[in-house]
Amino acid sequence: MTTLHDTEVDGVRCFWVDTGRPTLAARLAFRSGIADEDITESGWQHLIEHAALDRFPRGGTVDINGHVTLTDTAFDFHGDGADVGEHLARLTRWLAAPAFERLDHEIGVLRAEADVRGSSPLARALSWRYGARGPGLAAYAEPGLGRASQDELAERVGRVFTVGNAVLILDGPPPPDLRIELPAGDLRPLVEAVPVESPPAAYEEGSGIVVSGTVPREGPMFVGVEVLQRVLVERLRHEEGGAYAPWTNYERVDRETAVVTAGSDIRPELTAGIVDTTLGLLDELAAAGPREEWVTETVDRIVRGMRDPYAAIGVAMGAGMRYLHGREPETLDQMVERVRATTVAGLAEGFGQVRESVLLGAPPGTDAQRRLRMLQFPRTAPAASGRAFRSINWPADTSRLRLADHAIQVSDEQSAIEARYDDVVGLMVHEDGARTALRADGYSVTVDPRVWTDGHRAVDEIDSRVPAARHLPHPPLPGDAPQRAGLLGRWWPAVRRRLSSPRATYVGVLGLYLLFAVGFVGSMIKFGGGPTGIVVIALVWGAVAVHRALREGLADSS
């Protein structure tokens, strides 16, 4: 029987279970994570976690790790009980008086980590739903790192890493001489996750098929995701033979809401029908729920894992994280009871909630737009005022960069994409001189001064319009530098475009007819006779007929 103990160590709430092991595993967690940052400070929590652990010797007798999730930051230690206690004391002494002697070094390490890690399908799904705020920040490569300073980081540490905002989790009794030295502070509430899109909808996803939807956090769908993975493996891998590794995820994004996400690689021969297959599966699960035997087997497997003596620390982990998230901690019996309460009907309701709030990432080559509204950059009418910049390849490229009073716009002849200055949450200041204005909804407008005539003046004006606190140092744009085409390359496409337009066709055909008429009349005169009245009337009538036909065709094409 695993007994959950609830106590305090120097004012820090502590949950522990006695596993009887000769070593001690400890986690000191704090209620602040990726979703608590904004884009201009994204990566600071991760940077603090790295800096805090940088002072411990590498390859010592204590296993050390740290991580930052959407909602929390945690430090893990495992080893001899006395050594773990000393490491916790050393960590908290640093958190009480942080110093960042190797700040540039740690920033470099994190940027290298971001390059290796890249963006995952799960992170992109969160970004499509939440934009460039809250959980959506998981999709960005921590662009706020370039703005981090020692003073601002120290202020963050003093505000977040406090007694009231921490929980200590152990798999054995607290060492008698354990000391936690943290400043006073209160538990920080979870930030509400606010969507920027209205589901159901779809977007293009290159990794395969991805579906996500929101459900109540306290509902049964933490079990449902396990059943869903089995459903996907059975259908896509064993029946269709078109996938290797379907996956699912259950992510708590705030106090009331969790996001269920699932996805899979897809073989090319299944691509055309994968949208119908995926939505059909969700519809089936929402209508009738999963197979009852699958639910029973999944529940039994989860409960068996909970009761495994080797996994007993999971009880303390669950209780500790519920406390950090403002919920009542649960004992093992309460955890098991909640899992056992899962029913087919309850999961059907949960899958219905996923279906109603679904965002579907579909690979290229599907017809997702036939089933769902496709998410794309909203377009607006081009501004009538503001400073305009032509492409360096005008007139072949007729697009315009316009810096209006309210926004940055890039437009063609019909419409524009824009980033309003009051909605720019971050301005990426690229090393090659380019600027990317990131909107709160995650869409962005990039201005490369090498693409526009007098582009450096445009960049200077953008820099002055966006507050300096939102400027984010960023690597160069990928790819080769844009090149200006030669004289023929710039003008010949424009001439061809003019010649192929309906108006040019109108003028050309009418001109050819008139040329024919003049030539015909001239020939009659040359060979001894002027045009008769009937011939003149016929030629005029023909000219009028050609004019009317071409004018109607021109009107139809406009």
Per-residue model confidence as pLDDT tens digits over 532-544: 666 566 656 666 6
Stretch among 137-151, 424-438, 526-540 having the lowest mean pLDDT: 526-540
The answer, yes or no, to whether the previous bond of 200 is cis (omega within 30 of 0) is yes
Tell me which fold the domain 5-170 belongs to.
Answer: Cytochrome Bc1 Complex; Chain A, domain 1 (3.30.830)
Task: Enter the pTM of the model.
Answer: 0.88
Please give the order of strands across the beta sheet that includes 247-252.
201-204, 359-362, 209-216, 257-264, 247-252
pLDDT value at 356 more than 70: yes
pLDDT in tens, 230-252: 999 999 999 999 999 999 999 99
Domain 201-370's class? alpha beta
pLDDT value at 58 more than 60: yes
Locate the DSSP E strands across 21-132: 24-30, 63-68, 73-79
> Which tokens hold the place of 73?
């930051």
pLDDT value at 472 more than 50: yes
Which of 144, 132, 184 is CA-nearest to residue 45?
A: 144
> Which tokens hold the place of 513?
């007819």
> Which tokens hold the place of 59?
């390859």
Task: Work out the pLDDT band at 212, boundaries 50, 70, 90.
Answer: very high
Q: Is 442 left (phi over 0), alpha (psi -120 to 50) or beta?
A: left
The arithmetic mean of pLDDT across residues 504-509, rounded, is 53
pLDDT value at 144 more than 90: yes
Q: Residue 190: its pLDDT value, please?
A: 97
- For 60, residues 6+ apart whose C-beta sits below 8 A from its C-beta are none
Q: Residue 535: its pLDDT value, please?
A: 55
Higher pLDDT, residue 438 or 534 = 438
Average pLDDT value for the chain? 91
The three-state secondary structure class of 4 is coil
Task: Work out the pLDDT band at 352, boundaries 50, 70, 90.
Answer: very high
The answer, yes or no, to whether the previous bond of 395 is cis (omega within 30 of 0) is yes
pLDDT in tens, 395-423: 999 999 999 999 999 999 899 999 999 99
* Every domain of the chain and the residues it spans: 5-170, 201-370, 387-474, 501-557
Same fold flag, 5-170 and 201-370:
yes
Q: Residue 57: its pLDDT value, please?
A: 84
Q: Residue 552: its pLDDT value, please?
A: 57
Tokens 């204590």, located at residue:
62
Compute the Cα dihedral for 458, 459, 464, 469 and give only its sign.
positive
Higher pLDDT, residue 496 or 100 = 100
pLDDT value at 103 more than 80: yes
pLDDT in tens, 267-276: 999 999 999 9
* CB-side neighbour CA atoms (13 Å) of 81: 14
Higher pLDDT, residue 510 or 212 = 212
Strand 424-430 vs strand 435-439: parallel, antiparallel, or unpaired? antiparallel
Query: What percent of the chain clears pLDDT 70, i.e. is strictly above it?
Result: 89
Spatial separation of the C-alpha atoms in residues 315 and 340, rounded to whole Å: 16
Higher pLDDT, residue 134 or 117 = 134
Q: Residue 558: its pLDDT value, please?
A: 46
**Cβ(439)–Cβ(453) below 8 Å:** no
Domain boundaries 387-474, corresponding CATH code: 2.30.29.30
Spatial separation of the C-alpha atoms in residues 233 and 68, rounded to whole Å: 30
Q: At what angle do helices 292-307 and 344-356 cross, to 10 degrees?
A: 100
Task: Work out the pLDDT band at 314, boundaries 50, 70, 90.
Answer: very high
